[in-house]
Amino acid sequence: MNDGVRTSLNASSGDGSGTSPLIELARLDDGGFAEVEATIDGDAESLLLYRDGDAVRAWLNICPHAGRRLDWAPGQFLKSKDGLLVCAAHGASFELGGGECVAGPCRGEALRAVAVDVRDGAVWLA
Ligand code: FES
């Protein structure tokens, strides 16, 4: 299990590029997760962020199995001993490089990636 972070900062100025960061990098532990909300293509979406050293990857917080959120409570994501993200609904397990499901009911499918940048000590929509 991994202590998560949740922020409700709205990242969008309406054009998708964003005028405020998704989250300060310092609030994301290395190897940790956070959940943020952002407007993407005009829709409010929950995003899962994962920090890997100086890099941060982001995906929609939607499981490809049955479309449920991956966290068991907002910002609280499960991580297995071998470093996989585990969907709280039915246990699908995702590797954290490309978000591919490697075990469970949607094996072979993948999370939907969202492009983000790290700059100025924060994470931004790319
Ligand atoms: S919705 Fe994620 S495993 Fe079923």
Question: Taking the CA of residue 62 as centre, how many other CA atoms within 13 Å lie in the half-sphere pointing to its CB?
Answer: 11
Entry pTM = 0.87
Dig out the tokens for 108 from the structure.
């072979």
Residue 12 has pLDDT above 50, yes or no: no
CATH of domain 5-76+112-125: 2.102.10
Give the start-to-end residue ranges of the domains of the chain.
5-76+112-125
pLDDT tens-digit series, residues 77-107: 999 999 999 999 999 999 999 999 999 999 9
* Ligand 1 site, CB within 6 A: 63, 65-66, 68, 87, 89-92, 104-105
pLDDT tens-digit series, residues 28-54: 999 999 999 999 999 999 999 999 999
Nearest alpha-carbon partner for 37 in 53, 54, 58, 52: 58
- Å from CA of 122 to ligand 1 middle: 30
